[in-house]
Chains A and B, each alone.
Chain A
């Protein structure tokens, strides 16, 4: 999650104090991602070092320092909005590895491994869904953040369902002919 760019976005509305940035960040993101003050100031320090924000003298008192976005910062923010967010798969997805490995380990029932994870995911989804229950008090930012989490978790459940179905079909179907398997490699990632 880019705290850096979120802070730039908040500062693009006008100069602000560190504490104010923290509060607004939490409000805008539906209080789903709490931010500690230390993080805010560390990030502001780096943004200042990189010339993307600067101290705002008019917005300063003896207790806290004000910040404003620079022209460079505006450019960086526009570039961020215009760039697709990272959507590649994580370098090693633990759940995928676990299921693939479980298929080959004697004495491990891969269906049980799948179900343990499926149940856990659905329990998490139940908790997220509860947040949406009181529609009248649900703010838009929170609803969007909760939806994002639900769709993410659901996609994992759907993969588990599909994996289970595929394994079932393959165990019922004819034995595969002994042809050499094409080697598929996920592109190496440098993250």
Chain B
């Protein structure tokens, strides 16, 4: 079953002459284990696509299905619950709460969803440990490096039962080594069975994905074929 399906999704902002078509006729499907990258320049509609995929915003027309549940017609509360349980977000600027420790940042969404505090903290500690942050659990965001903060954000996005990971330029201003580390974590989560959508303008980040779709002016215009095995690269010409 697909974790995320978008059918003919269109989003229009404004009215009349000032109308802007942010995304148009988007069809997209992400199954468990998929890592999908959406590549496009700024202003191409990729962030809008992601907020609609995560039910933070409603499309003007078209359907979004998360975990087999059709979003249109769902109450605001039901959507919020579905979002808390199923969807994790990673943002460019991490969006950690500065007054909470790494552990509290990760356990908070679980507690909001009714998981008892002790259990939420156990799950959060496990998620942080998995990302190599077991010694940083009690640190506040401003005591962590950029790479560590992004790891906390990924732990928060994947903690508990969440299995759809949505990331908007997840390596933000990190250097290329930390950017690679972020994509390794996202890929590892997908290999464990999560599905992920990463929107980025960065080809190196996108190339960690199994499939890359290209967005221009709100439309998906192209996508990569399933790449052949890397061995073919290493057998190429032995020119001097």
Contact = CB atoms under 8 A, between A and B. Distances in A.
Contact of A123 (B39, B227, B234): B227
Interface in A76-125: 111, 115, 118-119, 121-125
Nearest to A165: B41
A1 B238 CA distance: 10
Interface residues of A, number: 37
B203 interface: yes
The dominant DSSP class at the A interface is: helix
B207 A125 contact: yes
Contacts of B222: 115, 119
Interface in A6-35: 31-35
B240 A3 contact: yes
Contacts of B212: 122, 126
A161 interface: yes
16 contacts: A32-B234, A39-B238, A39-B240, A115-B222, A118-B214, A119-B224, A121-B203, A122-B206, A122-B224, A124-B233, A127-B233, A129-B204, A130-B229, A130-B230, A131-B234, A150-B204
Contact of A150 (B207, B225, B229): B207
A36 interface: yes
B204 A154 contact: yes
A133 interface: yes
Given A150-B207, A157-B203, A164-B41, A126 B224 contact: yes
Given A34-B238, A128-B230, A165-B41, A123 B224 contact: yes
